[in-house]
Chain A
Amino acid sequence: MKRIKILSVLLAVMLVALVFAGCAPKQASKPQQEPKEKPITITIWHAWSGAELDTLNDAISKYKKLHPNVTINQLQVPFDQLKNKFQTAAASGGGPDILVGPADWIGDFTKANLIAPMDSYVDSDFLSHYVKGAINQVTYDGKLMAMPESTECVALIYNKSLVKSVPKTTDDMIKLADSLHKGDTYGLVYNTGFYFTAGYFFAAGMKLFDANHNAIVAQGNGGVIALEFLKKLASDKNIIAANDYGKADSMFKEGKAAMIINGPWAVGDYVKALGADKVGVAPMPIFSPTGKPFAPFVNTKDFMLNANSDDAHKKAAMDFIKFMTSKEIEQEFFEKAKHIPSNLDVNTSSDPIVDGFIKQMKTGVPMPIIPEMGAVWNPMQNAIDSVLAGKATPQDAIKAAQEAINKKISAMRNNAK
């Protein structure tokens, strides 16, 4: 009882302290260079890790030197939790000032009023320094809803000491993988997440949406062909094909996988683990069943502004976003974390790794940012998982996915009314 009483007194004191903390920092200031600048704290949520996180921390300390009044708090959230965490926090009136996320979240967030447009903070002169396609992708309903940091897509990453020549077609890739499997070392670890495999679905002829944003994944036989291909990969004992990012990632880092499919965000860590001369990047092999190139989602990673932040925080956050997308910081992210910059002024010449991704992007498709995209991920993943597990035929799986997507989209549209 006594303890609880002490606790409640403590809680009360803390509450009162919190109330006063809000109105505290009116410094009886001696005139500084810029007397207007009040201390301000900006929070940023992201899913960066490894080399990316180090570079972010460097950038934050650089920014702190230039703007001593601004404190930047960064919080790393695992990528598979980030969207939900932000959505829940922002929808209930809180959340960080800045969110770093892929462009396909923009439609969802804009419709739910979770992120604020940035048009009033930037002018056309500023935007002319950025890749036009990237700016187009983050523009929703004519408004700039995010600021692109980098462009990304997945490609074939290989260990040069194991792979002598890059396979040209998927048949070659399977043959090569079979010949490279020795003991613990596998020729290919293939992540079967839909984001990673989408390139072959599109190469097989599948389309996601029609002109009215209705899903058409079961139209034609593209989905079936792609699922059959994935099934073939998974049944090959020399290939690990599983929806397990962590396992694939650590196998490649340990040199136990000759080839992996992954994006630029991971390469910084691979270079660190294996050495820069051992890591190669090339476009994924051509899809043998149709002879079409791998067409991955091309997406930007963006800074978004929380709609709940007040004007002072928005302004300060925007200033930090501009700093993060400046030539200097994007150059750092390019060199240390192998991000493909959105800023045209960054010097990207002579980097074979980045060249590999840029080559892959040429055959890619832009990631749709319409809210309907949110309804696609889980049903498609379920289709892949159930086919690989032998629980459904490719035909049934793609039909089930189509139905599940329709159901989600109609639930979404009804809710909006």
Chain B
Amino acid sequence: MVDYSDIGLWEKIRRNKLAYKYILPAALVMAIVTAYPIVYEVWMAFTNFSIVNLKNPHPAFVGLRNFIMILKNQVPLENFNFWRTLGFNVIWTVVNVFFHVTIGISLAMALNTPKFALKKLYRALLIIPWAVPSYISALIWRNMFDTQFGAVNLLLAKLGLPHNIAWLTNPNAPIKFLSILPYAFYADLITNVWLGFPFMMVVATGALQSIPKELYEAARIDGASEAGQFFHITLPLIRFAMMPAIMLGVIWTFNQFNIIYLVSGGGPLGETEILVTQAYKLVNPGGLFGIASAFGLVVFLILLGITLFTNRITKATESAL
């Protein structure tokens, strides 16, 4: 390896001309389809860009007005409340990832039991939720949560439990002290847990299979209980595989547009809106392009913060490099 650290940029380019020629077409395409829209969006965020000035794109520069409107909840759109949406988004992410990881690891452990009959069949069945396109699952679940004809309420009725629950339209909270979470949250949660655990299960299965059996034998000889084996051998050893997966899970769930938009639609009355579905509604039906761009930047900053934070505590990306 040559040390390039003491030579200038032009010199580096001159020495590697051929390489730059090779990446030129790709770089051009990236510049047009990725970089340009991002720069354009940043510019839009500081203007009063809206449907009226699309045709003659000379919207006025408004400084930080869009950002202030968002943070002060002054956006002219029904049920817009940035802080509630942000809080809901965080709760949504934490609860989902918690269930994804615990269910995923539990199932992976169960399926990792030696001499377990029909193991492959179960494994295939459990991966199905992951294999079905998520919007199809979302629409099926939406129908299952129908008040009169949905499978969920029919099942509750068969079991003699309270039914006729308006899962998607009742804005009240079933658990009183969690008043920010309406029925629709639980509908979204059940759907997304069903969709999300297979990924964690697959990752955990791979990690479990790489743990040498000798470790468990040694632990048993030392008199460690099942729980002790799990907490002192299994968990520390799968941690390095699980952490990047959990980070991915956090980012995916934080931006889980499909489930929220298709199952509860952000309703009732905007109570299950997350940041990305809210951003979408700012454009359609809102037509507020400038505010939507500013909103996009805010979401970007939040995600950047989360990524940096998780990176620091896990150092996960370090080991991946």
Binding site for B on A (CB under 8 A): 1, 4-5, 7-8, 11, 81, 84, 87-88, 91-93, 112-113, 184, 186, 237, 240, 242, 247, 378-379, 381-382, 385-386, 388-391, 404, 407-408, 411, 415-416
Q: Is B22 an interface residue (CB 8 A)?
A: yes
Q: Interface segment, B168-176, B219-227, B245-253?
A: B168-176
Q: Is B50 an interface residue (CB 8 A)?
A: yes
Beyond A1-B22, A81-B284, A386-B269, is A112–B51 a contact (Cβ under 8 Å)?
yes
Q: Interface segment, B25-33, B124-132, B194-202, B306-314?
A: B25-33
Q: Is the CB of A390 within 8 A of B172?
A: yes
Q: Can you list the 5 inter-chain pairs with the closest CB atoms, starting with the nearest?
A: A91-B54, A8-B25, A389-B171, A4-B26, A382-B78
**How far does the alpha carbon of A87 sit from the alpha carbon of B52 in the complex, in Å?**
9
**How far does the alpha carbon of A389 sit from the alpha carbon of B268 in the complex, in Å?**
8
Q: Could you write out 19 A-B pairs with CB less than 8 Å apart?
A: A1-B22, A1-B23, A4-B25, A4-B26, A4-B29, A84-B284, A88-B287, A91-B51, A92-B54, A92-B55, A112-B55, A184-B148, A247-B146, A386-B269, A389-B169, A389-B172, A404-B76, A404-B78, A415-B52
- Give A81's nearest chain B residue, CB to CB: B284
Chain B's nearest CB lies how many Å from the CB of A397? 11
Q: Is B230 an interface residue (CB 8 A)?
A: no
B78 neighbours in A (Cβ, 8 Å): 378-379, 381-382, 404
A contacts with B: majority SS: helix
Which among B29, B79, B164, B268 is the interface contact of A8 at CB below 8 angstroms? B29
List 19 extra interface pairs beyond A8-B28, A382-B79, CB under 8 A. A4-B26, A8-B26, A8-B29, A84-B284, A88-B287, A91-B52, A240-B148, A242-B169, A382-B269, A385-B268, A385-B269, A386-B171, A389-B170, A389-B269, A390-B171, A404-B76, A404-B78, A408-B76, A415-B48
Interface string of B141-166 (1 = CB under 8 A from A): 00000111100000000000000100
Interface string of B48-62 (1 = CB under 8 A from A): 101110110000000
- Give A11's nearest chain B residue, CB to CB: B29
**How far does the alpha carbon of A416 sit from the alpha carbon of B48 in the complex, in Å?**
12
Q: Is the CB of A93 within 8 A of B55?
A: yes
Q: Is B285 an interface residue (CB 8 A)?
A: yes
**How far does the alpha carbon of A16 sit from the alpha carbon of B271 in the complex, in Å?**
50
Interface string of B32-56 (1 = CB under 8 A from A): 0000000000000000101110110
Chain B's nearest CB lies how many Å from the CB of A383? 10
- Give A12's nearest chain B residue, CB to CB: B25
- Give B288's nearest chain A residue, CB to CB: A411
**How far does the alpha carbon of A113 sit from the alpha carbon of B54 in the complex, in Å?**
11
B29 neighbours in A (Cβ, 8 Å): 4, 7-8, 11
A81 neighbours in B (Cβ, 8 Å): 284
Chain A's nearest CB lies how many Å from the CB of B288? 10
Beyond A113-B55, A389-B171, A389-B268, is A415–B50 a contact (Cβ under 8 Å)?
yes
Q: Is the CB of A87 within 8 A of B22?
A: no
Chain A's nearest CB lies how many Å from the CB of B10? 24
B172 neighbours in A (Cβ, 8 Å): 389-390
Q: Is the CB of A84 within 8 A of B287?
A: yes
Chain B's nearest CB lies how many Å from the CB of A127? 30
- Give A6's nearest chain B residue, CB to CB: B25
B287 neighbours in A (Cβ, 8 Å): 84, 87-88
Chain B's nearest CB lies how many Å from the CB of A238? 11
**How far does the alpha carbon of A385 sit from the alpha carbon of B52 in the complex, in Å?**
29
**How far does the alpha carbon of A81 sit from the alpha carbon of B285 in the complex, in Å?**
8
Q: Is the CB of A88 within 8 A of B269?
A: no
Beyond A84-B284, A386-B269, is A416–B148 a contact (Cβ under 8 Å)?
no
Q: Is the CB of B55 within 8 A of A91?
A: yes
Chain B's nearest CB lies how many Å from the CB of A254? 10
Q: Is the CB of A184 within 8 A of B22?
A: no
Beyond A240-B148, A382-B79, A389-B169, is A1–B26 a contact (Cβ under 8 Å)?
yes
Chain B's nearest CB lies how many Å from the CB of A403? 11
A237 neighbours in B (Cβ, 8 Å): 164
